[in-house]
Amino acid sequence: MTPLLEVRGLNKSYPAGRKGLFGKRMMQVLRDVSLTVQPGEVLGLVGESGSGKSTIGKAILRLIPSSSQAMRFDGQDLNTLPSADLRRLRKDMQIIFQDPYASLDPRKTVRAVLSEALDTHDLHRGAARQPRLTALMEMVGLNPIFLDRRPHEFSGGQRQRIGIARALAVEPKFIVCDEAVSALDVSIQAQVLNLLADLRAKTGISLLFISHDLSVVRYISDRVMVLYLGRVMEVGGADQVHFAPRHPYTAALISAEPSLGHAPDRIRLTGEIPSPLTPPSGCVFRSRCPYALPACAETAPELRPAGEGRLKACIRDDILQGT
């Protein structure tokens, strides 16, 4: 099967602060990230702050400039696509944001928000517009009579549904969910997660689901990719990664997650997450890794097969072999 999205060797740097009198320092937030998303697949991206997970989503949507060896979406090369074609392609790839308050223009009604999407791609003009808007509202579980309200009249969960409706309006093949449920209370978060799961089951849409919450990612994703300081640590099936992590960082992350009932046998990490400005040499995780060897400081470990179609970026094969 050809993947819907294929990214190879994605890099991204930001200028960060100054160096000396007039120099600028560059901060590399993504290094050599590769990923694929199959049609109908949900790929979860997990990581802590500074991992670059949100940057990946925006780089793929070409909302921020980045460099990569290859970036193909639905058979088209995103790196060489002229901007007019890119605009047309945007119909097929959409995004849902984290903050339900910042993601809607306070001055526009829901109708205006959804119509902007349809107008841009010349969809459902004239008499076909109203039924389409009604259908969209119903699809995300909102009453269509709310179409002429402005965002401040909605709760956080309802706003998030409007954001989802905006993304769905143009019938995309792929949506980046950038921490789409992180700002919501638990009870509302479950509603939105269920909504996404239903939509995916119904429409066969692909999702890139970005979150810092491992349990949420495990529940919603088919495969999970774990990031640390802009580098991929581990990739594998959602349940596999969650219940039998192969990489020490994944294991630490999962064991750090608070869980109901039993007190977990926690893997202790020491120290703080290093600044992306001054990452450790070799393996970026070695400064906090309980299993680090002297060799870890020498070269950055390659992402390599770890059985069952999984990948990990760790030189040790003698640890974390459970299933």
Among 11, 16, 76, 121, binds other proteins (CB under 8 A): 121
Q: Which of residues 24-63 bind other proteins (CB under 8 A)?
A: 42, 48-49, 58, 61, 63
Among 33, 59, 68, 157, binds other proteins (CB under 8 A): 157
Among 12, 31, 242, 286, binds other proteins (CB under 8 A): 242
Give yes or no for residue 139 binding other proteins (CB under 8 A). no
Give yes or no for residue 160 binding other proteins (CB under 8 A). no
Among 71, 222, 231, 284, binds other proteins (CB under 8 A): 222
Closer to other proteins by CB, 80 or 270: give it: 270
Give yes or no for residue 71 binding other proteins (CB under 8 A). no
Burial 63-84 (b: 16+ CB within 10 A, else e): eeebebeebbbbeeebeebeee
| Positive or negative: CA dihedral 186, 226, 306, 252 | negative
- Give the other-Cβ count within 10 Å of 131's Cβ: 11
Q: Among candidates 210, 213, 288, which has minimal Cα distance to 258? A: 213
Based on its alpha-carbon atoms, the radius of gyration of the chain, rounded to whole angstroms, reads 21
Closer to other proteins by CB, 119 or 298: give it: 119
Closer to other proteins by CB, 272 or 318: give it: 272
Q: Which of residues 265-294 bind other proteins (CB under 8 A)?
A: 266, 268-269, 272-273, 288
Beta-strand pair 206-211/311-312: unpaired
Where are the alpha helices (H) located in 204-247, listed in sequence order? 214-220, 238-243
Q: Which of residues 77-96 bind other proteins (CB under 8 A)?
A: 86-91, 93-95
Tokens 């349940």 map to which residue?
239
Q: Which of residues 294-313 bind other proteins (CB under 8 A)?
A: none
